[in-house]
Every structure is written in C-alpha cells, then in structure tokens.
Structure 1
C-alpha cells in the first residue's frame, strides 16, 4: 500500500485517546482501529475533517505517501 496512516503518532503527540476521537468523529472504536491500521479502502472527507478538527492538524499530518518497492 502506498498510503500510510500516521494517526497513532498524532494521537500520542496530542495526548488524545482513541475512545475520545471515536466519540468526536462519531464512529465506532473498531472502525477507528481499522482506520489507524490502514485496513480501510477510503475515508469520507467529513470523517477526515472531524479528525483534523479535534487533533488540530492537517490531513497531511495523518496520511503519508510512500511509494511501493515495485514502483
């Protein structure tokens, strides 16, 4: 996968628990866990906006493009 999710890192930096973020974003903790692990095929802009709102960050702080070795 070329997109790496850095949400865990930002949560630690902001000292915010996953439970608090899930409640703010209005998603289940299990869905947030899937997002943090990168096991989702997409993220709604509304969800991304709510995450950035609470964490006071930009989408680029959460997502990083890393080229695959085959590219």
Structure 2
C-alpha cells in the first residue's frame, strides 16, 4: 500500500460503517470479499439481508446506535 493511500472508517449516525480506501474484507469464516478499493457500507444493525454489507434495513427498523468512537484526550 502506498503511503498516500488512506483507509477511513466513518461511523454514521444510526447507520452503517462507511469504509473507504484500500482494504481487504474477510469474514469470520475466512471468506474474502472483492471490494477492490470501492467504498463499502458495513451493517451495524444486524438486520441486513446482505451481511456484512448494509442494505438499508436500519431505516425501516428505525435503528438507533448508541455507541460512538471514543475521543482520545
């Protein structure tokens, strides 16, 4: 990975994690998903039919996330 390539994981309010940058996505069984550097949205609500990807199910479920990334001080 080149030094100018940045991976960012954005915690979206009451929605998925938005991942951008050159990542390799591997599930718990070791299966790799070819995301080829494309931005991806990862499910946080647990209701997606396309896990680990978000399919928007959180909207109908009115998912409310309480966690936030901690601020380092």
Answer 1 or 2: which has greater helix percent.
1
Q: TM-score range by the shorter chain?
A: under 0.3
Structure showing greater radius of gyration is 2
